[in-house]
Amino acid sequence: MIYLGGEAEVRIEDVVVKKRKPKRYRLKEIDEVLRIKRTKTEAKLISMARRIGVPTPIILDVEEDTIIMERIYGTPVKDCMSEEISREIGRLVAKLHSANIVHGDLTPMNMILSEGKIYFVDFGLAFIDSRVEAKGVDLHVYFEALKAGFENWEILRDAFIEGYLEFGKEEVVKRAKEIEERGRYVEKRLQ
């Protein structure tokens, strides 16, 4: 199977091969440097997350703009979401944030349930940041994904927050709420 994303082509075989695509609008030399740097950063953050106890695929190899990693067999979280799963996602995101890893694309599409564990995949937008704002945006992205994909999104959000607060900081949850309010304010002004 091949998935084409905005940044990369992902081929799923016995392993997963993620190759960053060249961007024609960038100078070739700059594009190559960026793709190599972003690939190394993504592989490093996946490995860091795994070391702190967040399930991720094992990185098997990194070759310039390509990551070869373990294939996780399981069910996409978007297809099996529950309160219990959202609560566990909250715990795992809090672990990421305690190590200052911001995933950048926290959606149920980027998580796989396998043998009772929730694996986080696609760290293509991940970065290191200790600021409450960056972590609050991470939570806001997750909450927006819940709103878009699930009728019971408020229950799932509340379960996530319960799990998050076991390891995470309340100030991050408060910031996520502030970010949501900012969005509402902008929507009202545009109407």
Largest CA distance in the chain: 51
First to last CA, the chain: 43
158 is catalytic: no
Q: What is the rounded distance in angstroms from the CA atom of residue 138 to the CA atom of residue 128?
A: 12
Sequence-ordered list of residues with C-beta below 8 angstroms from that of 145, at least 6 positions apart, any chain: 106, 107, 108, 109
Catalytic residue selected from 105, 122, 129, 138: 105
Sequence-ordered list of residues with C-beta below 8 angstroms from that of 57, at least 6 positions apart, any chain: 16, 46, 69, 70, 71, 72, 119, 121
Sequence-ordered list of residues with C-beta below 8 angstroms from that of 27, at least 6 positions apart, any chain: none
Pair 160, 111: CB distance under 8 Å = no
**3-state DSSP helix/strand/coil percent for the chain, to nearest 5?**
50, 20, 30
Active-site positions?
105
